[in-house]
Amino acid sequence: MKSPRALVPIVIGLLVLGFWEWYVRSGRVEDFFVPAPTQIGAWFWSALCDGSLASATWVTMRRLMLGFAIGAAIGIPIGALCARSSLARDTIGILSLGLQTLPSVCWVPVAIIAFDPTEAAVVFVVVMGTVWAVVIAVQESVLNVQPLYLRAAQTMGSRGWHLWTHVIFPAALPGIISGLKQGWAFAWRSLMAAEIFVAIIDGFGLGALLNAGRDLHRMDLVMGVMAVVMLVGLLADLIFFSPIERWLRRSRGLER
């Protein structure tokens, strides 16, 4: 029963692509304005063969992983601290909420002034994009841990560090993972902004490639890179976050 359901979006997708191809080829729209799917595909193939796409994707992913890891490493303890102390919640917590609403592209000028257009500037923007969402998610999910679990664990002699690692974090884990997923989405957006605005000579990422496409007036390149950016985001969700979330929910009986 599963194959017909998977077939529907494929068929519809192919129909849309076919119509798009026909529409461009029929000359109703200039192909430097809207390239046909096959033209984008041609760019994609050539970029894949000469290795430029792979290297740009690698540069981008490296920055993303690094910035995301740093952001999570900072955000998780701060979020835990905010959950524990109302003083931290009323100060850092509120600040985090404010900074989370700040579009991360706003950090680009700060990063360039502080770090010059370097690798560090790009990673800084990613960290800023990640950290606040993680702080808030961790704070909320730790605050929402059922007090009954804590009472039960305390009577069995769990205290301090043990209570955190064996009860609070496992109990808050579904919320923390959702927060990381959100942090990842913010990091991805902020990274693209940073790569478009921060021109670094030695690291040519997907954002820089996109910007190069603009300079060259190559719409096939621009749309191709956009498709890759979308694909990477989608894959991170499908391969990494969703399975973890689903496994967590299933193993706790929250989803069948």
Partner 1 sequence: MPANPSSESNSQLTLRHVTKRFNGRAGLVTAVEDISLQVKEGEFLVLVGPSGCGKSTLLSLLAGLEQVDDGSIKLDGADVVEPGRDRLVMFQQDALFPWLDALENVMFGLRLKPGLTDAERTEAARYYLDLVGLGDKEKARPHELSGGMRQRVALARSLAPNPRVLLMDEPFSALDALTRDQLYGDIQKIFTQRKKTIVLVTHNIREAVCLGDRVVLLSPNPGRVRQVFNIDLPRPRRINDPALATLAADITTALSAHLAEPKEGLV
**Complex with partner 1: residue 101 or 251, whichever CB lies closer:** 251
Q: How far is the CB of 165 from partner 1 (least distance, A)?
A: 12
Question: What is the CB neighbour count within 10 angstroms for residue 178?
Answer: 18
Judged on CB neighbours under 10 Å (0-12, 13-18, 19+), 4 is: exposed
**Complex with partner 1: residue 9 or 157, whichever CB lies closer:** 157
Q: How far is the CB of 151 from partner 1 (least distance, A)?
A: 6
Using CA atoms, how far apart are residues 256 and 252, in angstroms rounded to an integer?
10
Separation of first and last alpha carbons in the chain? 18
Using CA atoms, how far apart are residues 238 and 233, in angstroms rounded to an integer?
9
Residues binding partner 1 (CB under 8 A)? 148-149, 151-158, 162, 166-167, 170-171, 173, 251-254
Q: How far is the CB of 150 from partner 1 (least distance, A)?
A: 10
| Nearest CA among 108, 129, 127, 131 for reference residue 186 | 129
Residue 59 CA from chain centroid, whole number = 15
- Cβ atoms of 188 and 130 closer than 8 Å: no
**Complex with partner 1: residue 4 or 157, whichever CB lies closer:** 157
Q: How far is the CB of 155 from partner 1 (least distance, A)?
A: 5
Q: How far is the CB of 173 from partner 1 (least distance, A)?
A: 7
**Complex with partner 1: residue 88 or 150, whichever CB lies closer:** 150
Helix (H, G, I), strand (E, B) or coil at 19: helix
**Complex with partner 1: residue 45 or 247, whichever CB lies closer:** 247
